[in-house]
Chains A and B, each alone.
Chain A
Amino acid sequence: MSIGKKVLLYMALTVSGLVMVFPILYAFLISFMQGGEVLQGSLWPESFSLANYFSAFERVPLLTYLWNSLVVSVLIMVGQLVLCSLAAFAFVFIEFKGREWIFYLFISTMMIPWEATMVPNFQTVQSLGWLNSYAGLTIPFFAMAFGTFLLRQQFKTIPKELYEASQIAGISKLRFFTGVVLPVAKTTITTLAIYSFLTAWNMYLWPLLVTNNEANRTVQIGLKQMQTQEIASDWGVVMAGVVMVILPTLILLFAGQKRLQEGLTQGALK
């Protein structure tokens, strides 16, 4: 690659990188500002004091919330991975009557507006006695059409002959699934895992509905709890909360990036 082209590439990368990251940096900066500073539109804080972070932790039980979010997100992630990969396997490798039809049924679930399902679902969870429990927060989300669809696309790249050969060799379906399919689809599964985790981490309205006390609430509720309407919100504190909420997910992305990259490259080499 010529030097000129490299310089050009780096410039393009830097500019677009900064544009993408700027809003996040801005949030970090605001999290150090005091009340008046924010509303007068300062870009740079007068001093980098941690006062807002201390108030954020004082105001809501942020640690409990963070822990709950972590548990809920991990449970949902695991549940989704298991259910989605099982379903995707059936859609790709097992031929049976009505398979196409059921697949479209799955896809159609993505189109159901969740606002419409919220109240009946709340009543279902209530009658199951799942309010204020991890069950109510997680189980309704275990089945996911999107994940099934994603894995199905990936499983399709595994040659059919391989499956037929294994059947003839007398390898059970479950064995083929865990021994062959899952390792091959590692990359996609990692991507899906990250996606599941992040989506679960970011839920707001449902956790608010099904929990009635602080002991099992999640961080997004805490974020809302810091904002006010009738009196001025303390934006510095809210942003400190925002930073605390996005930090774990950003770290996950940072850490996962390498893995993700490796996985992706492996996929390319095969």
Chain B
Amino acid sequence: MTVIRQEATSGSTGDWHLERKRAWSNWMTGMMFLLPSLILFGVFLFYPMVRTVYLSLFLTDSQGVPVVFVGWENFVNLFQSTSFQLSAKATALFVLYTVPAGIVLATALAILANQKLRGIGLFRTMFSATMGMSVAASSVIWMFLFNPSIGLFNRILAALNIPGVQWLLDPQYALLSVSVATIWMNTGFAFLILLGGLQNIDQSLYESARIAGVSESYKLRKITLPMLSPTLFFVTTVSLINAFQTFGQIDLLTRGGPMESTNVIVYSIYKDAFINYNVGSASAQAVLLFVAVLIVTVLQFKIGERKVHYQ
């Protein structure tokens, strides 16, 4: 193989056969490396997804076996239902509430923790602690914090003589409250990744800045953020996709209520598929969600990659 390669790189111009052979061998090698992943994706993600698309055109019996072909009816029904419109709105708002705020918070914490101070390790551990918390465990704790009668938040408000808020029961606040809990849960991970990104920045850049005597905010804008941009891009992509698929805390904290204000699409899919056994409708929603995430991600790549500064 090596011999062929050497000939191809050093050999006469336009040796068509060798070029082709090399391409073929590269393709084979590439596939060897990718095959394990591709196979598992095929069996456990693409096959079910194709099946989902198929099922979205049917009414199914309770075991998920298609019984009546209805074409686009499941989709048409969704677009006409207020429930689905509310779900779409809740999903969009949830993404909007959690992603930017979460990233800003994690970045701020990472910059704060990127100082050379005694005992900084302890603070870093504290900031990353939420990464070790399961959604189930975290939700149980937040449920207590939000509790209108015994929860900490309302008792703080009471101490300040402000009337209590029904955090998870008022449609105005429920989605915000779940978002706050979600941001907390996600911060640990984003913090760790961003801290890693910060520590990878070439220190000599700061050194020259110090000699030039520029201000802190200038350093932040001109050195830190641009150099951190690949990491930020990565964290944003993952946060976006995760936000679209948030399920656990919704199930445990609000069950999609009150008045469907937190009934994000993933939760609605779960309800339709696992509780109401409307696999057809659930599949149609899954397809729509997939398309939505796809569009957002492609946009993010198109816009994001342009702004990212690679070293």
A residues adjacent to B (C-beta < 8 A): 6, 9-10, 12-14, 16-18, 20-21, 23-24, 26-27, 30, 39-41, 43, 82-84, 86-87, 89-90, 94-99, 102, 105-121, 124, 139-140, 142-143, 145-146, 148-150, 153, 156-157, 167-168, 170, 173, 187-188, 191, 194-195, 198, 201-202, 204, 220, 223-224, 235, 238-239, 242, 245-246, 249-250, 252-254, 257-258, 260-261, 264-265, 267-268
Query: Please, how many angstroms separate the alpha-carbon atoms of A112 and B282 in the complex?
Result: 13
Neighbouring A residues of B128 by C-beta, 8 Å: 253, 257
Q: Kindly name the residue among B9, B27, B34, B266 whose own CB sees the greatest number of chain A CB atoms within 10 A.
A: B34
Query: Please, how many angstroms separate the alpha-carbon atoms of A194 and B141 in the complex?
Result: 23
Q: Check B36 against A142 for contact (C-beta < 8 Å).
A: yes
A–B pairs, 14, beta carbons within 8 Å = A20-B188, A27-B140, A41-B149, A87-B37, A105-B41, A109-B46, A113-B245, A120-B51, A148-B37, A202-B136, A239-B140, A245-B137, A254-B125, A264-B196
Query: Please, how many angstroms separate the alpha-carbon atoms of A195 and B234 in the complex?
Result: 15
Q: Does B81 contact A (CB under 8 A)?
A: no
Q: Kindly name the residue among B37, B131, B244, B297 whose own CB sees the greatest number of chain A CB atoms within 10 A.
A: B37
In chain B, what residue has the closest Cβ to A125? B44
| Interface size range of chain B in the complex | 35 or more
Cβ-defined partner of B26 (8 Å) among A43, A94, A238? A94
In chain A, what residue has the closest Cβ to B122? A17
Smallest Cβ distance from B119 to chain A, in angstroms? 9
Q: Check A170 against B117 for contact (C-beta < 8 Å).
A: no
B residues adjacent to A (C-beta < 8 A): 2, 5-6, 9, 23, 26-27, 29-31, 33-34, 36-41, 43-49, 51-52, 64, 109, 112-113, 115, 117, 120-138, 140-142, 144-145, 147, 149-152, 155, 184, 187-189, 192-193, 195-196, 199-203, 230, 234, 237-238, 241, 244-245, 247-248, 265-266, 269-270, 273-274, 279, 282-283, 286, 289-290, 293-294, 297, 310-311
Query: Please, how many angstroms separate the alpha-carbon atoms of A107 and B279 in the complex?
Result: 26
Neighbouring A residues of B247 by C-beta, 8 Å: 115
Neighbouring B residues of A202 by C-beta, 8 Å: 134-136
Smallest Cβ distance from A65 to chain B, in angstroms? 13
Q: Check A267 against B152 for contact (C-beta < 8 Å).
A: no
In chain A, what residue has the closest Cβ to B149? A41
Q: Check B200 against A268 for contact (C-beta < 8 Å).
A: yes
Neighbouring B residues of A6 by C-beta, 8 Å: 117
Classify the secondary structure of B's interface with A: helix
User: What total count of A-B pairs have CB within 8 Å?
Assistant: 253
Q: Check A20 against B129 for contact (C-beta < 8 Å).
A: yes
Q: Please judge, given known A-B contacts A90-B30, A115-B247, whether A23 and B145 are in contact too, CB under 8 Å.
A: yes
Q: Please judge, given known A-B contacts A90-B33, A110-B241, A120-B47, whether A41 and B151 are in contact too, CB under 8 Å.
A: yes
Neighbouring B residues of A83 by C-beta, 8 Å: 36-37, 40
Q: Check B150 against A39 for contact (C-beta < 8 Å).
A: yes
Neighbouring A residues of B38 by C-beta, 8 Å: 102, 143
Q: Check B248 against A204 for contact (C-beta < 8 Å).
A: yes
Q: Check B241 against A111 for contact (C-beta < 8 Å).
A: yes
Q: Check B30 against A112 for contact (C-beta < 8 Å).
A: no
Neighbouring B residues of A102 by C-beta, 8 Å: 34, 38
Cβ-defined partner of A198 (8 Å) among B43, B121, B132? B132
Neighbouring B residues of A89 by C-beta, 8 Å: 33
- A26-B145, A198-B131, A253-B129 given; 18 more Cβ-contact pairs under 8 Å: A9-B115, A18-B126, A20-B188, A24-B133, A26-B144, A83-B40, A84-B37, A115-B273, A116-B52, A146-B238, A195-B131, A198-B132, A201-B134, A202-B136, A242-B141, A264-B200, A268-B200, A268-B203
